[in-house]
Amino acid sequence: MREALLEQLRASAGERGRRVLLTGATVVTMDPATGVLDKGDVLIEGDVIAAVGTDLRAQGAETDAVVIDAAGCIVAPGFVDTHRHAWEAQLRRIMPDVDDLGGYVTTTLLGYAPVYRPQDMYVGTRLAALTAIDSGITTMLDFSHNSRTAAHSDAAVRALLDTGIRGVHAAMAPHFGDWDKQWPEDVARLRQEFGNSLLSFRIAALATGEIAGPEREFGPRLAAAARELGVGVSVDAVFGETSSRAVLEWERQGLLGPDLTLIHSTGLTRDAWRAIGASGTTIALAPTSDAQIGLETAIPAVDEALAVGVRPGLSIDVEVALASDMFTQMRALHAIQRMRAVNAAYGTDVAPRRISTLDVLDFATLQGARTNGLGEVTGSLTPGKQADVLVIRAEDVNNMPLNDAVGTLVLGSDARNVDTVFVAGQVRKWDGRLLDVDLAALRDEVAASRDHILNAPADV
């Protein structure tokens, strides 16, 4: 039955307005106006969500539709990753106990990055994107800070396209080593050659020139380049006093705003947070990165963001040391914030201000989309938005019985429970397995690329 449904989906994939009805599920829409439907349906037409309701069959939704019985499942919007260095994926967990940012920079950006060939960029980015889809991430911002040549960038972009993920290619020059000085101007060519409905572009930058010099530092030059292209900017390594001073300078220069994303944002001053909140600047948190690697205060800045009215997105960051999935990020943030809140109130009569599972799911979906500049495109099951949809098995041994759908998504589920993934209405994972991926060939390509990187002499 399941294989026959898959064949129906594949056979009709290219048809304009093809209809798919997911029926009988618990539907977590992440749309504030709709909320959670205990027994609901989701209708997909072409690449968009056409309707969400409690009994769409009675309204004729199954006419000419591929009908998928989703009873016993949770249907939810795909997760949105706001910041991942995808090119590093073949170096996964190569330094699981890295102690600080300097250790990561020295080993990865100074040591490994300069020996990457375009084909290594392709392999790493494709592996990261496939892993994202496998764990329910339908949108991934690839902070591609190894753009040594146009060919390196082309390879990273092609990898996103070849997986079918909703990709955001955020290009930045490499920190160290030789490169062609084609960035940021080359972003215009990339967008013209590769841009489509699934792929968008941003400029990536650093908060200050401390690590890699002023050329990569966000300021008027890169802001003007982004405005000319009509794209946003994602700024990494936003930490501490120096970044706080930079934020206030950007405020003075009129550079803050919703098209700017600040990544990490640990250890910022109250005045810097005031400027961020007043301008509507977006924030991408990396919960496990901040805590595990120990970035500045090592505490994800969720309380600071919420205090100034900013609801952040979540991100994976570096797989050389961290987990690859959004479930881990949600759980880590949920636990760290609540621990911090209770600890701060311990021994007093003050009630702790704790975030909820709904909060972190919102960060991982709707707010992540907004942070990536895609708030009107994805992030919730809202009619008119793109059909980026997850089907999570709620009756697997680790999830049964289903008592609270949001709690199950955040605290119970993992990649093994992701039964089906749609991106723009196209099925990318089905019955628990990735589609159109030769895992044996992928394994060989990843191993060969990893071996080249580890054995090639660096010439920095």
Under 8 Å between Cβ of 340 and 389: no
* pLDDT of 195: 86
Separation between Cα atoms, residue 277 and residue 366, nearest integer Å: 18
Calculate what percentage of the chain has a pLDDT beyond 90. 92
Q: Is domain 79-371 in CATH 3.20.20.140, yes or no?
A: yes
In the chain, which segments carry CATH 2.30.40.10?
A: 2-78+377-434
Question: What pLDDT score was predicted for residue 13?
Answer: 83
310 or 13: which leads in pLDDT: 310
Mean pLDDT, residues 312-337: 98
Distance CA 415, CA 305 (A): 29
pLDDT value, residue 15: 82
CA angle 424/430/431 to nearest 5° reads 150
How much is the pLDDT for 459?
Answer: 58
**Residue 336 predicted with pLDDT over 60:** yes
pLDDT confidence of residue 211: 79
When pLDDT is averaged across residues 243-253 and rounded to a whole number, the result is: 98
Q: Given this model, what pLDDT does residue 460 score?
A: 45
Which pLDDT score, from 0 to 100, does residue 62 have? Answer: 86
Q: Angle 183-186-191 (CA atoms, 0-180°, nearest 5)?
A: 135
Question: Which single residue is written with the structure tokens 């009805």?
Answer: 21
Q: Is the pLDDT of residue 263 over 80?
A: yes
pLDDT value of position 12: 86
SS3 397: coil
Question: In the chain, which segments carry CATH 3.20.20.140?
Answer: 79-371
Q: Which amino acid is at 394?
A: A
* CATH assignment of 2-78+377-434, among 3.30.2320.50, 3.40.50.970, 2.120.10.30, 2.30.40.10: 2.30.40.10
Provide the 3-class DSSP secondary structure of residue 232: strand
The whole-model pTM stands at 0.97
Q: Look at residue 61 in the predicted model and tell me its pLDDT.
A: 85
Pairwise CA distance, residues 59 & 437, whole Å: 37
Q: Are strands 282-285 and 389-393 parallel, antiparallel or unpaired?
A: unpaired
> What mean pLDDT is reported for the chain?
96
The CA–CA distances, whole Å, from 442 to 90, 320, 437, 447, 454 equal: 11, 19, 8, 9, 18
DSSP designation for 177: S
